[in-house]
Amino acid sequence: MALDELKAALPDYAKDLKLNLGSVIGNSDLPEQQLWGTVLACAMATRSPIVLRELEPEAKANLKPEAYEAAKGAAAIMAMNNVYYRTLHLLSDKEYGTMRAGLRMNIIGNPGVDKVDFELWSFAVSAINGCGQCLDSHEGVLRKAGVDREVVQAAVKIAATVQAVAAVLDAEAQLPR
């Protein structure tokens, strides 16, 4: 199992991450599509070859093809949107926020899966990428759709844990042996 491989690869100093990986993914209460779509989108967002290599096969096995593609699509579109909207938020000149973006974002309107699932995946990726404006927007859509705070929090926990595991494993891969 890929999850066990990732946990085994973590050094002793990251024991908390091992435990968290097991709980936020291995013992999640999220429906399979929400869980594994979040895991896949977050694994892609980390840009970690190690994490993606270990988690992608299990995500693919647990997702229908359209959900698998949509989760990757959420990671892709948020890679662009999180940079764009975070920049608008951080710029002192708020006039940029009134300008037309002119960037294609069609997948958001037609992701090929339940809109709530796509929003959850986009929310989790936005947490990794640190876009407050995107986090607020996606959280608002989720809450308006009736999604409980516990579900939103579960996605954040997955994002935080997968990102932390990626940071540790990628750093360890660069250290001299």
Q: Which residues are catalytic?
A: 131, 134
Please, are residues 67 and 37 in contact by the beta-carbon 8 Å criterion? yes
Q: How far apart are CA 161 and CA 173, in angstroms?
A: 18
- How many residues are present in the chain? 177
Going 122 to 128 to 133 to 139, the CA torsion angle's sign is positive
The token duo for 64 is 């229908």
Q: How far apart are CA 62 and CA 84, in angstroms?
A: 32
DSSP-based three-state secondary structure for 137: helix
